[in-house]
Structure 1
């Protein structure tokens, strides 16, 4: 039996209400080894603070927040578009924090989140998207299948949650209206 997962945009009026669920998701991903800007051990306070800041960014119309949600309301995935860009880049957005709970992976949720991000970017008038990911990770294949173009790699760019160095690969996508 396939579980129904809905992808939807979280607006400012409910962003803060999702902080606890999003913190659970972030903690799961970091504890699972995802290099997404946080180190082990990640505290609940750290995760809550991060998502409170994201919710504030949604309220200021600086970010678009998408979630993948089970029928029971549990958030099992998320991705963001950072739409607040410098004055000379109003056409661009950064894709950030594409996360899927370890228990929900390999079900196409990440691909659906990325398609929804493309759609939201178009609605927001964005035509260029950029992102970065761990070099050699599963996400690289996901992005390539979704039409992203590899720009290049920077060795030892970031740290994995356990403190070991990891390379980072940068991608871009040109959206067609």
Structure 2
């Protein structure tokens, strides 16, 4: 069952917090090769967090991911700033049954958003090297390796600089849209996004100038597909809920192709480019696809377009180029390059 997550801050004494922290630490100790049976048997520092989070995180920000039934499915902690003014993201945890549906990325977005609003220059985290999927997520979100502040073997230290200058935008919110939300945004935000992309030269299957009514009709068709499970949609929203970007995932519908999916219509508004939205939208779709059991993703894009750089940075492989495959918005035939990416659980690094 799909999980539509909402991330919200809670007080550390929220009754849902201890179980999530205990699950995180019990899993971590098992991965270290020193499993314990209960939170009471954890090492003292971790035991204190799991049994008394109100004290352990009294000065920190705790964020919960909750589903439509208001059930907590994940947690992350943003610590108070250290002496250098940089807070740390800790204890990212998503319940196993809710993984692969965007909860981890939503929690990270929430933590980064809180840090940005606090005006700090950066945010940092540490992660065990064997957590390959988590590392891949952090890198897609813009975290880079820095000099370690914790010298325990097998621990990787990462940091992300934040744009905190006066007047700068806060990070956009990435949201998975249900069919009703797609229909609500189709006549204005989504239609305007598609028109901007096509009129700006993006090869998305339409010719310029694109009629806003035609763009809205296309999104309404997408809503119908989403309703029957034939397409999944994510959007990036800025202040005032303005739509800044979108991406869709189409799962294979053939009996011999249900292991794969297609990334279609990755769009970022021209006024919002350069903020990493394309990478974040792509990461949300990839994470969801892996959680649904897909093992291969494909896409096509106009050869030598700016999108190619994004896909290569994100680990996609070019499979070949077809000349004169599709007309660009001006009606000129252009070559198209096909890309693929294998997804799913990454091998553990020993």
TM range (shorter): over 0.9
Larger Rg computed on CA atoms: 2
Q: Which residue of 2 aligns with 1:90?
A: 258
The question of 1:81 aligning with 2:249 is answered yes
Q: Which residue of 1 aligns with 2:174?
A: 7
Which of 296, 306, 323 is residue 155 of structure 1 equivalent to? 323
How far does residue 124 in structure 1 lie from its aligned partner after superposition? 1.9
Contact 1:63 1:84 in 2 (8 A): no
The 4+ residue runs of structure 1 with deviation greater than 6 A are none
Q: Which residue of 1 aligns with 2:277?
A: 109
Which string of whole-angstrom CA distances, capped at 9 and with x for unpartnered residues, describes residues 126-157 of structure 1? 11100000100111110010010100001110
Q: Which residue of 1 aligns with 2:306?
A: 138
- Partner-residue secondary structure (3-state), 2:319: strand
Contact 1:11 1:58 in 2 (8 A): yes
- Partner-residue secondary structure (3-state), 2:257: coil
Q: Which residue of 1 aligns with 2:201?
A: 33
Provide the C-alpha distance between the structure 1 equivalents of 2:343 and 2:234, rounded to a whole number of angstroms: 18
Using the size of structure 2 for normalisation, the TM-score is: 0.50
| Unmatched 5+ stretches in structure 1 | none
Provide the C-alpha distance between the structure 1 equivalents of 2:194 and 2:295, rounded to a whole number of angstroms: 28
Contact 2:294 2:344 in 1 (8 A): no
Structure with greater contact order relative to length (CA < 8 Å, sep ≥ 6)? 1
Identify, as 1 or 2, the structure richer in strand: 1
Contact 1:128 1:175 in 2 (8 A): yes
Which string of whole-angstrom CA distances, capped at 9 and with x for unpartnered residues, describes residues 75-99 of structure 1? 1100000024211111111000000
Corresponding pairs, count = 177
How far does residue 171 in structure 1 lie from its aligned partner after superposition? 0.2
Provide the C-alpha distance between the structure 2 equivalents of 1:106 and 1:143, rounded to a whole number of angstroms: 15
